[in-house]
Amino acid sequence: MARKGVVQRERGKQELEKRYRSIRRSLKAGMGEALSLDGKWEIHKELQSLPRNSAPTRLHRRCFLTGRSRANYRYFGPSRHVLREMAHACLLPGPVRASW
């Protein structure tokens, strides 16, 4: 189980990224359309002035049950521990227990 403060911090990053998503996309599109080097520098300064945690690369996937940040499956959503427990309890259709 992850600490609650870490999970809350990650949720705050998600909200911040959602808030600045359109601004960041428009600035990046303007960067490609800028013809002069000075125009690109101005757009780059505006991008740098945005909060660091509003960048989508700073987000991590977390298990929706435990909050674990590592070994998450994109398709299912939980971490490997929870996925294994769900497979043992026959809550997931499809996975076959080989030699677990």
Record the pTM: 0.69
Whether residues 46 and 6 share a domain: the answer is yes
Note the pLDDT tens digit of each residue in 78-96: 898 898 888 888 888 887 7
Whether residues 87 and 47 share a domain: the answer is no
Note the pLDDT tens digit of each residue in 32-59: 888 899 999 999 999 999 999 999 999 8
Note the pLDDT tens digit of each residue in 8-36: 888 999 999 999 999 999 999 998 888 89
Whether residues 56 and 67 share a domain: the answer is no
Number of domains in the chain: 2
Reference 21, options 60, 61, 53; nearest CA is 53
pLDDT of residue 62 exceeding 80, the answer is: yes
C-alpha to C-alpha distance for 6 and 59, rounded to whole angstroms: 12
As a whole number, the mean pLDDT across the chain is 88
Whether residues 52 and 100 share a domain: the answer is no
C-alpha to C-alpha distance for 89 and 3, rounded to whole angstroms: 26
65, 74 contact by CB (below 8 A)? no
- Bridge partner residues of 79 (DSSP): 72
pLDDT of residue 56: 92
